[in-house]
Chain A
Amino acid sequence: RKEVEQDPGPFNVPEGATVAFNCTYSNSASQSFFWYRQDCRKEPKLLMSVYSSGNEDGRFTAQLNRASQYISLLIRDSKLSDSATYLCVVSRTGFQKLVFGTGTRLLVSP
């Protein structure tokens, strides 16, 4: 079983739509959680950290469910520029090493 599992997609949505991605992780000792965004042929960039209480950054909302070991990302009012691959990331025991999911691809169309 992979440490971090994501639906690869692609998710095809029209502009203005709301879309949600989920991710599950296997290590119950994980302490840090993130969503990264990766554009085609570019490096991953930190989108947001994910906190137990849930957190929001503009149109993006992240949730963490420790009991079920899953993380979600909600994007409201999708823009064409949101088209990218979204990577779910969790820390391993020891905190400094991060494990990356293989990503969920989002395509936003006009």
Chain B
Amino acid sequence: DVKVTQSSRYLVKRTGEKVFLECVQDMDHENMFWYRQDPGLGLRLIYFSYDVKMKEKGDIPEGYSVSREKKERFSLILESASTNQTSMYLCASSGAGQRVNYGYTFGSGTRLTVV
């Protein structure tokens, strides 16, 4: 089975801190994604990556950055955490080719609280 592992299940950080969320997948997938999920708003795409060192903005990239130095690892960075970034963060990966999408596999999520 594909495994997507997120480094922390729960995090509490202070306003203004720089926060790193780590995600690792073990199936040699090209595509990796970061979403946040909030009640009533569903999952919203923050950033994604199709390849090492490649990144593209999703729908809500403001206040976030990402890093993909190795194929298996995709990091989400909150440059200066704010209370409105309190959320569930979900990492996903996909090995889909150019014209077919087989769906994503998600990590178990990181529930971040910014105080």
Given A44-B43, A102-B41, do A95 and B100 touch, yes or no (CB 8 Å)? yes
CB–CB A102/B40 < 8 A = yes
Tell me, yes or no, whether B48 is within 8 Å of chain A by CB. yes
Q: How large is the interface on A (under 10, 10 to 19, 20 to 34, 35 or more residues)?
A: 20 to 34
Main secondary structure of the interface of B (DSSP, over half): loop
- Tally B residues with Cβ within 8 Å of A: 26
Closest residue of chain A to B104, judged by CB? A98
Name the distance in Å between B107's Cβ and chain A's nearest Cβ.
6
B 72-111 binary contact with A (CB < 8 Å = 1; else 0): 0000000000000000001000101011111111111100
- Residue contact B43 to A96, C-beta cutoff 8 Å: no
The answer to whether the Cβ of A43 comes within 8 Å of any Cβ in the partner chain is yes
A18 CB → nearest B CB, Å: 25
A46 in the interface (beta carbon within 8 A) = yes
Query: Within 8 Å CB of B108, what residues of A?
Result: 42-43
